[in-house]
Structure 1
Amino acid sequence: MRARYRLPADHRLILAVGGVERRKNTLHVLDVFLALRREQPDVHLVVVGGASLLDHTAYRTQFETRLRDSGKAEHVTITGPVSDDDMPAFYRQAAVLAYPSATEGFGLCPLEALSCGTPAIVPEIAPFTEHFSEVDTLWCHPDSPHTLLSALRDALSPRNLARFRVSGPTTARRFDWCQVAERHMPAYRRLAALSQAETPFSGALSPCLR
């Protein structure tokens, strides 16, 4: 995978997923990466993805200008959209997922990273605070780049890298399809009961509602 995407073999990868978008806070990620690289020169930023129906041209222009002016363009890779089959390799090769997204519906990428044993940094806002605990991930604030820098330092420490190799997959297993379906069953039963109470109902319930 590194050879295919021309990623340096001897650098630790800081992974950002979702392309260059304002809601993904990609400019913050770039600024923080440049600050981190002054301390730890063996890191390389990889921004994966970016397929969108929306026009992000203005924001991407800001990103490209910032990157060009930094003189560090060779230390940043923008892949564009990639195959789903390649994503597990990106997560496993990454030292950390930097995901300071300003808005998300749920946020699958951190779970994908954790399932591969990779530390994930997420913003301390909903929806992440609704399904992650303080020990599941590392936290930042989407409006405070210095909190992302601090979290990246923590994530790259040998202690946390070793911890997430064990705890990450365990956290992700809480969200496998069987457990998610099981947690939905009480809601489905309540809705089925309400439906029967409000309207005439004939026939047996579907097995998934029993």
Structure 2
Amino acid sequence: MPSKLLIGLLGAAVVLPSRALRTQKSSSAEGSAEPGIEDYSFDDFIAEFKRPYQEGTDEWDMRKELFHARRKDIVNFNAVPDRSWRKGITKFMDFTEAERKRVLGYTGRGSREAGAPDEAAALRGSAVHLPSEYSVRRPKSKLVHLARDQGNCGSCWAMAATSTFEGQMGVNASLMDELEAAMKLDKRVPSVPTLSSQGVVSCTENKRHCGG
């Protein structure tokens, strides 16, 4: 059964662009902040995220100013010791506030009224004492730190499903061992075996389309 599962997972695996979806570049399993953010230039940003701006135009100057302001914010944030997380370079560095707001928040149906079962569940859950910190990272895990970017696609349900499955893969040490062994035998096996959200969307009957 593990071998069949492994074959199925590899069949669904895709290779993400090495930097296109990152929020920060990790140098260890714990995910340290990306070094050299101060040296990351607007030209680097243009090249990485393939912006069409023309140097010397008003838009170039406006986007460059936004980029430098966001980069300064990242550097200042990461300079504070004992942060539980670090900021990194993203494709939103040159977005205006209006552009940023367009990709924030759910704009679908209104919230439904809470019923008695939900209220009862909330009461039961309030008695649970949770730790102040919890990490799902494991020494061999390569998936749980990925930050997916669905862009303007409305198929958040597919992104959530594949991310959840990836999390279960990542904490399965025996499966990770099998994947590492397969990588050594077959160069086509990706070093980060992410699952395809597009595959889930394409293979799922979705009459309402969910905006995706």
- TM-score computed with the length of structure 1 as normaliser: 0.25
Report which of the two has the higher share of strand.
1
- TM-score computed with the length of structure 2 as normaliser: 0.25
